[in-house]
Amino acid sequence: YDQLALEVFSRLEAVPESVELHAWRAQLAHSRNRDLEAVGEWRAALKLSPGNSRLEAELATSLFLAHDYSAAISMIETQMKGNAKSPDLNFMMGESLLRIERAEHAVPYLETALQVNPNMLPAHASLGLSLAKLNRDRDAIPHLERALELDDDGALHYQLSRAYQQVGNRARADAMM
């Protein structure tokens, strides 16, 4: 099977450059958690098919996953022109803004994502973190609580503990720590 796979890959490498080839390579890179490589492939595909909204959406997602938030923001803005209520786009925009230290701008996008999809736990986490950065701890608490099951590194528990501490609930703060 390995030999057959190598033969297939060598044949694919000989295929002339095309949108489909770049898209396949981008998806392969993404499946291997190589999102920067995926970004390059989506950009190459867009050179062959400028203005292709599907390719632009894929590029925006890959930029976001590669943590290139500044570049992702401009791509997401373009995507949002046609779909301003998309919970995924609003989440990616809000999370990107939070990551570049613009929490005050992130809040409306994250709130919109949650209005459309109230069960989007990553949006709850990002909104809670954004509100906490803005010293709106009382507002942050329910969102942080809702997203605790996503906490794989303790950051949400820590932020929730700080929020409880800020609102004077020492017992809950201690429990979160």
Instruction: Report the mean per-residue pLDDT for the chain.
Output: 91
State yes or no: pLDDT of 84 exceeds 70.
yes
Separation in Å, CA 103 to CA 41, 44, 126, 172: 31, 32, 9, 25
3-state secondary structure of 139: helix
- pLDDT of 85: 93
Count of Cβ atoms closer than 10 Å to residue 158 Cβ: 14
Q: What is the pLDDT of residues 21-68, one digit of tens each?
A: 899 889 989 999 999 999 999 999 999 999 898 999 999 999 999 999
The least confident of 2-11, 57-66, 119-128, 137-146 is 2-11
- pLDDT of 12: 66
Contacts of 165 (CB under 8 A, 6+ apart): 173
- pLDDT of 177: 82
Tokens at 161, concatenated = 């503990």
The H or E element that residue 142 is part of is helix 137-146
Q: What is the pLDDT of residues 142-159, one digit of tens each?
A: 999 999 999 999 899 999
Quick one: what percent of the chain has pLDDT higher than 70?
Answer: 97
The least confident of 13-17, 63-67, 132-136 is 13-17
Count of Cβ atoms closer than 10 Å to residue 130 Cβ: 27
- pLDDT of 15: 66
Q: What is the spatial distance between Cα 64 and Cα 57, in angstroms, rounded to a whole number?
A: 11
User: Stretch 127-149: mean pLDDT, rounded?
Assistant: 95
- pLDDT of 5: 72
Tokens at 78, concatenated = 């373009």
CB-based burial of residue 26 (10 Å sphere; 0-12 exposed, 13-18 middle, 19+ buried)? Answer: buried
> Does 117 or 177 have the greater pLDDT score?
117
- pLDDT of 99: 96
User: Stretch 67-86: mean pLDDT, rounded?
Assistant: 93
- pLDDT of 9: 67
